[in-house]
Chain A
Amino acid sequence: MAAPAPSTEIDHGWTPDQPLVRLVDVHKSYGTIPVLRGVSLDVRKGEVICIIGPSGSGKSTLIRCINALVPIDSGTIRVEGQEVNDPDLDKLALRRKVGMVFQQYNLFPHRTALQNVMMAPIHVLKQNRKEVEARARALLAKVRLQGKEDAYPGQLSGGQQQRVAIARSLAMRPDVMLFDEVTAALDPETVKEVLVTIRDLAEEGMTCILVTHEMGFARELADHIYFTDAGLIVEHGPPAEFFANPKDERTKAFLGQVL
């Protein structure tokens, strides 16, 4: 049933020098309320991009479109050349390539940290249990959670849960990671431990798309920053330029408030 489908990766003629994720003129409305009103962006392999903007500007919807959690109304989204909006899309094949971490962690509370990390590779990718367990333990160690393998999510702090969630996503060996305000529900001390984990990932060359309110983090780590407001990308650029010299009035107003 969940047979590996490597063919999808060659079919679309995608080569690593092209953008890994490409959005062109994406529109999305919830009922009569427009959320995305023509968003375009490119993410290259190994890049870290941060999407910032006031709440309600469509950031979360934007990031959820990329792994087809939210269907779009018009425009195109391609991940490794694969058309995400295609009605015949094998969503499961797409989601094996795109990892996602949520604001509310969304760990499976009835399974331990280790089981949370192991579930998808075993049940979705049908990989060997022993091999998956070794990898899962290594991943938990990588996010600095040795000794917490057998803890249930309810026994872990928010920051620890979020790091398990990151490890769980990485266990699928995705090509790109989506982070949806992953530190927004954490207290200031634990924010740092999660950001350090993400930084390690970025430095290893993982392609990351982050929706974040951590301006310092965005400035330090991002290759490119996109600022959204009312469903549009108002301004984008490399962080140094973006923060030092914002051009749009809305960007200036927003940065004036948060910095």
Chain B
Amino acid sequence: MTSDTSPAPASVLPVLLPFRASQPRRFAPLRLQFIHAVGFIGLALLVGGAAHAQSGADQLSALGVIWKWFPLLMSGFMFNIAISVLSMSLGTIAGLGLGLLAISLNRPLRRTAWGTTQFFRNAPWLVLLFFAMFMIPFQFTIFGTTYPLPDWVKAVIGFALPVMANVSEIVRGAVGSLPSGQWEAAESLAFSRRKTLWLIILPQCVKRMLPPWMNLYSLVTMATVQASIVGVTEMLTLTAQVHAAEGGRPDLLAPLYGFAMLCFFVYCYPIERFTLYLERRFHLHQ
């Protein structure tokens, strides 16, 4: 450029600047701010203090009780996480299969998959859990060897059923949300349906499925406490046992169950934040 036109004036011209949606911040795993700390400490003091005020001098304070039983309660919580991870894995694999059947070109297959999805999606999780508990035998025999089927395995299956149905629906929704031009382009390039799905459609669906899938995981984790109703020794069951072991003091109820709540919150809140972050990111960089 050899022209000697004057450089653009530095003054601010009266123009409306284009709107820029704010870039998503890089994900900070736990952006706990001061206000959160205040909230947590406040809650702990309130619950602990109230409990302490009611307890006699010879009794352990609520925080003391929680501290004493902390390893046991944590082992129970780990069990909740294990159940949630396993049922999520199992349910996701089954749900992917069911979701693929639900978009099959074969009408009977598609209708069957649709029916299965709707049935398990619209049944209360606790009912499904009961069914899994009481319908699945406690042991089974293959080639003369008897394998026991512990309660928690049945609980995993019980939770995997609604997960399967929800994942199936997530898959179907994601595939349906892709523009039809992707199918047309693949067809016109002589891709078979199977190759179109695996090479073109499903890879694009992964990021669309991730946020609802993580949301579902959060829900499953919180639902695992229902397993206590059918006798699995997970955190809620152990909390009740700890309460009983401490003499069933009424002042311990709120702190103990509050602690269980806190554990789930601390575990699920980051997942929730990460889901939100992914949703924002995928929305902007489509």
Contacts and interface: CB of A to CB of B under 8 A. Distances in A.
A169 B189 contact: yes
A123 interface: yes
A95 B187 contact: yes
A96 B192 CA distance: 12
A106 B189 CA distance: 12
A217 interface: no
Contacts of B195: 123-124
B200 A108 contact: yes
Nearest to B204: A110
A92 interface: yes
Which of A67, A93, A98, A106: most chain B CB closer than 10 A?
A106
Contact of A108 (B184, B185, B286): B185
A1 interface: yes
A2 B182 contact: no
Consensus secondary structure, chain B interface: helix
A74 B270 CA distance: 59
B189 A95 contact: yes
Given A104-B181, A106-B181, A69 B203 contact: no
A120 B182 contact: no
User: In which size bucket is the chain A interface?
Assistant: 20 to 34
A124 B182 contact: no
A102 B286 CA distance: 20
Interface residues of B, number: 19
Given A119-B199, A124-B195, A154-B285, A108 B188 contact: no
A119 B204 CA distance: 15
A1 B191 CA distance: 11
30 contacts: A2-B192, A67-B188, A69-B187, A91-B190, A95-B190, A99-B188, A100-B185, A100-B188, A102-B185, A104-B179, A106-B179, A106-B185, A107-B185, A108-B182, A108-B185, A108-B186, A108-B200, A109-B204, A110-B204, A119-B189, A120-B189, A120-B191, A123-B191, A123-B199, A124-B190, A124-B191, A154-B286, A165-B185, A168-B189, A172-B189
Given A67-B188, A95-B187, A123-B191, 6 more contacts: A1-B192, A69-B188, A98-B188, A104-B181, A106-B181, A108-B204
Interface of A: 1-2, 67, 69, 91-93, 95-96, 98-100, 102, 104, 106-110, 119-120, 123-124, 154, 165, 168-169, 172
| 9 tightest A-B CB contacts, nearest first | A106-B185, A106-B181, A95-B190, A100-B188, A120-B189, A92-B190, A96-B190, A124-B190, A110-B203
